[in-house]
């Protein structure tokens, strides 16, 4: 039920890899009053090509500006929820300020081979911990930094980008960010070698406001019902698990084994309770602990927790199924290439993740764009930006002379070359190029451009090319088929033990904007595909979670009952029928 929602609103923030989305949700109806999306172009240049880092403070500043504007327009705001890209980490000092870039989930430092050894940093940590920690996971990145002396000397904590932004929204003054001291009694023993860079340890101080600590697991386990704190460093169970080194049985970081690996566990934030408030924006609006974008997208896309298969295609891609919380599921799912992610108190997600997803299709678009530039080298920029270009001679254009061909040849002009509105038309023309092809004759494409969770060195491949199917249309179809096949294969590995699916729901722009991919997914999963009527599902789910944390909804399903759906190919809004 709804607790006096009236005209109150909730704000949902989704900090994605390429964009930041913020929306305002009407609590009593689920209507989106306003939605904003801005580019997350905060990338920090690294020395190595595999580094993928962003500027945490610039991200915070952009979020703060948008939230402040929306709060002033849509008062009263009952709660704020935050969704963020998972797995990544940043380091903060004793005042809670960032002292490093944000190392995103795409950062491949954990997948680098250890000098003089035959394993990567992620593989070494997985072996020593006895738990899978893939490249891109926070603890794999931290382990690399630790072993290579890259942890800033002033670092005292690690945080997700969502938790960092949330804590900054709730305060920001140095005096409001007390940090707990070390815990020598946690069983870490002496710190030597490069780990000594963390400095001397000392007992936890009672002035930190973190309360009594009894034993190692008490320090890192869930503490539901605790009063809001901005200084203790809080993290949702789902985001904690995304770093690796998480014990599903204890619902806490595996502190003992992490210590044995040389990782100082006092850097780890405490696990927050379900729907916990971490502080208040402008001293009055509750802010919920940040949740992962996968969990937020699930909450903002499905009508209930079980019986739904959610396929999300954005920069990455995931297939998710809700399942009851059982620790033994984690090991079983890992064998099938999937993983278990905490979501709510009584709900976990079975998740299979593709590292490329929609990015694979974007890479294909970039490839065609380069072909267009090769065909129109003289004034390619104008051609790609929709300006009129003068016709040239095809042979000269293709041989690299400084001429521009507006009509390289009739077929190429019609389907691919030099579209008038490059950002939209090239994708549109890629879709048109598929018309009339025979799907059975398409080449087989494996879109693993960035490897996989289990094998970071795996690469994309294409096979089955013939003189008949080596065309743009067949390559486009083969890529989309490959994206869908990767997700379905992951789903097949998680089916045992999961509830029988009742419906298939799609989210993310990769699905919303691509009717061909939607059709392929329906064929793969043998179910009709539904799409939420609202866009920005992760921001929507974050808003629902924020309202739930603030007590506006007594349970999350009350909020989810407001979601309306569209039958993907009918384009007609309907109530979903189970």
- What is the DSSP code string of 456-522? TT---EEE---TTT-SHHHHHHHHHHHHHHHHHHHHHTT-TTSPPP-EEEEESHHHHT-HHHHHHHH
Give 399 or 122, the one with higher predicted confidence. Answer: 122
The answer on pLDDT for 387 being more than 50 is no
Mean pLDDT of all residues in the chain? 80
Please check whether residue 114 is in contact with residue 121, taking contact to mean a CB–CB distance below 8 angstroms: yes
pLDDT tens string 423-474:
567 888 998 999 999 999 999 999 988 777 667 778 999 999 999 999 999 9
pLDDT at res. 133: 93
Q: What is the mean pLDDT of residues 350-365?
A: 87
pLDDT at res. 258: 96
Report the distance separating Cα 534 and Cα 298, nearest Å.
Answer: 13
Q: What is the mean pLDDT of residues 83-89?
A: 96
pLDDT at res. 424: 62
- Tracing tokens 């087989």 back to the chain, one arrives at 444
- What's the full length of the chain, in residues? 578
Give 230 or 352, the one with higher predicted confidence. Answer: 352
Closest C-alpha to 70, from 12, 7, 4? 12
Quick one: 398 exposed, middle or buried, by C-beta within 10 A (0-12, 13-18, 19+)? middle
pLDDT tens string 35-85:
999 999 999 999 999 999 999 999 999 999 999 999 999 989 999 999 999
Weakest mean pLDDT among 111-120, 216-225, 341-350: 216-225
Weakest mean pLDDT among 24-28, 65-69, 371-375: 371-375
Q: Would you tell me the crossing angle of helices 472-492 and 422-433 to the nearest 10 degrees?
A: 80
Which 3-state string (H, E, C) describes 189-218? Answer: CCCCHHHHHHCCCCCCCHHHCCCCCCCHHH
The set of residues, in sequence order, having a beta carbon less than 8 Å from that of 55 and lying 6+ positions away, is 42, 43, 44, 101, 102
pLDDT at res. 329: 60
From residue 107, give the alpha-carbon distance in Å to each of 117, 136, 447.
21, 5, 18
Rg, the chain, Cα only: 25
Query: pLDDT band for position 393 (50/70/90)?
Result: very low
The answer on pLDDT for 157 being more than 60 is yes
Strand positions, DSSP E, 111-254: 157-159, 234-235, 246-247, 252-253
Tell whether pTM > 0.85.
no
pLDDT at res. 284: 95
Q: What is the mean pLDDT of residues 113-124?
A: 96
Q: What is the mean pLDDT of residues 113-119?
A: 95
The SS3 of residue 567 is: strand
pLDDT at res. 513: 87
- Tracing tokens 């799912």 back to the chain, one arrives at 333
Report the distance separating Cα 306 and Cα 472, nearest Å.
Answer: 40
Whole-number percent of the chain with pLDDT over 70: 75
From residue 558, give the alpha-carbon distance in Å to each of 349, 414, 492, 531.
19, 50, 31, 19
Q: What is the mean pLDDT of residues 367-386?
A: 69
pLDDT tens string 222-261:
333 334 444 448 999 999 999 999 998 899 999 999 999 9
Report the distance separating Cα 428 and Cα 416, nearest Å.
Answer: 9
DSSP codes joined into one string, 406-438: S-S-HHHHHHTSS-SSHHHHHHHHHHHHTTT--
Give long-range contacts, CB 8 A cutoff, 24+ apart: 128-131.
128/257, 128/260, 128/261, 129/244, 129/245, 129/254, 129/257, 129/258, 129/261, 130/257, 131/244, 131/245, 131/246, 131/247, 131/254, 131/257
Please check whether residue 520 is in contact with residue 484, taking contact to mean a CB–CB distance below 8 angstroms: yes
* Strands 308-313 and 503-507, bridge-based pairing: parallel
Query: pLDDT band for position 375 (50/70/90)?
Result: confident
From residue 388, give the alpha-carbon distance in Å to each of 375, 382, 404.
15, 7, 11
pLDDT at res. 146: 97
Please check whether residue 301 is in contact with residue 530, taking contact to mean a CB–CB distance below 8 angstroms: no
Whole-number percent of the chain with pLDDT over 90: 58
pLDDT at res. 378: 60
Structure token digits, residue 247: 């014990």
Weakest mean pLDDT among 142-146, 301-305, 511-515: 301-305
Give 379 or 178, the one with higher predicted confidence. Answer: 379
Please check whether residue 53 is in contact with residue 102, taking contact to mean a CB–CB distance below 8 angstroms: yes
pLDDT at res. 411: 38
The set of residues, in sequence order, having a beta carbon less than 8 Å from that of 273 and lying 6+ positions away, is 222, 223, 224, 225, 226
Please check whether residue 293 is in contact with residue 240, taking contact to mean a CB–CB distance below 8 angstroms: no
Please check whether residue 349 is in contact with residue 297, taking contact to mean a CB–CB distance below 8 angstroms: no
pLDDT at res. 327: 56
pLDDT tens string 484-539:
999 998 888 777 656 677 889 999 888 988 999 999 999 999 999 999 999 899 99
Report the distance separating Cα 54 and Cα 52, nearest Å.
Answer: 7
pLDDT tens string 564-573:
999 866 554 4
pLDDT at res. 171: 86
């Amino acid at each position: 039920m709804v607790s006096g929602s009236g005209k109150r609103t909730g704000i949902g923030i989704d900090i994605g890899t390429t964009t930041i989305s913020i929306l305002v949700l009407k609590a009593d109806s689920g209507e989106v009053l306003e939605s904003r999306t801005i580019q997350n172009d905060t990338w920090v240049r690294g020395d190595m090509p595999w580094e993928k880092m962003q500027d945490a403070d610039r991200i915070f500043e952009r979020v703060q500006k948008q939230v402040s504007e929306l709060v002033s327009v849509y008062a009263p705001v009952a709660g704020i929820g935050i969704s963020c890209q998972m797995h990544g980490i940043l380091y903060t000092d004793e005042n809670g300020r960032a002292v490093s870039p944000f190392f995103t989930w795409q950062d491949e430092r954990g997948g680098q081979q250890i000098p003089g050894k035959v394993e990567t940093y992620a593989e070494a940590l997985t072996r020593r911990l006895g738990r899978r920690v893939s490249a891109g996971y926070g603890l794999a990145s931290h382990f690399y930094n630790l072993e290579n002396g890259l942890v800033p000397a002033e670092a005292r904590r690690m945080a997700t980008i969502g938790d960092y932004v949330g804590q900054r929204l709730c305060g920001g003054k140095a005096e409001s960010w007390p940090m707990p001291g070390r815990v020598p009694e946690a069983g870490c023993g002496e710190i030597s070698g490069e780990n000594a860079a963390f400095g001397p340890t000392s007992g936890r101080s009672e002035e930190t406001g973190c309360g009594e600590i009894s034993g190692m697991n008490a320090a890192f386990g869930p503490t539901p019902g605790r009063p809001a704190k901005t200084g203790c460093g809080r993290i949702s169970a789902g985001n904690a698990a995304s770093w690796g080194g998480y014990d599903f049985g204890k619902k806490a970081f595996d502190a003992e084994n992490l210590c044995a690996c040389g990782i100082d566990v006092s850097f780890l934030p405490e696990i927050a309770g379900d729907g916990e408030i971490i502080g208040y924006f402008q001293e009055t609006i509750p802010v919920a602990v940040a949740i992962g974008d996968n969990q937020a997208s699930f909450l903002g896309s499905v009508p209930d927790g079980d019986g739904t298969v959610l396929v999300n295609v954005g920069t990455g891609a995931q297939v998710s199924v809700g399942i009851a919380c059982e620790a033994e599921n984690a090991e079983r799912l890992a064998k099938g290439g999937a993983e278990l992610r905490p979501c709510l108190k009584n709900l976990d997600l079975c998740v299979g993740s593709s590292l490329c997803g929609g990015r694979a299709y974007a890479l294909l678009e970039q490839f065609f764009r380069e072909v267009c530039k090769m065909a129109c080298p003289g004034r390619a920029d104008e051609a790609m930006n929709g300006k009129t270009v003068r016709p040239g001679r095809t042979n000269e254009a293709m041989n690299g002379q400084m001429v521009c061909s507006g009509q390289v040849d009739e077929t190429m002009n019609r389907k691919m070359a030099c579209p008038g509105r490059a950002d939209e038309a090239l994708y549109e023309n890629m879709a048109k190029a598929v018309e009339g092809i025979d799907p059975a004759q398409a080449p087989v494409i494996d879109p693993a451009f960035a490897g996989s969770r289990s094998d970071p060195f795996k690469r994309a491949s294409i096979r089955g090319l013939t003189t008949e199917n080596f065309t743009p249309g067949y390559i486009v179809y083969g890529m989309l088929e490959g994206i869908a096949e990767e997700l379905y294969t992951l789903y097949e590995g998680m089916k045992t033990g999961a509830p029988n699916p009742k419906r298939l729901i799609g989210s993310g722009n990769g699905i919303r904007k691509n009717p061909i991919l939607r059709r392929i997914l329906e064929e793969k999963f043998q179910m009709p595909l539904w799409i939420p009527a609202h866009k920005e599902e992760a921001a929507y789910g974050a808003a629902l979670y924020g309202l739930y944390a603030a007590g506006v909804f007594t349970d999350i399903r009350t909020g989810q009952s407001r979601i309306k759906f569209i039958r993907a190919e009918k384009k007609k809004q309907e109530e979903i029928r189970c």
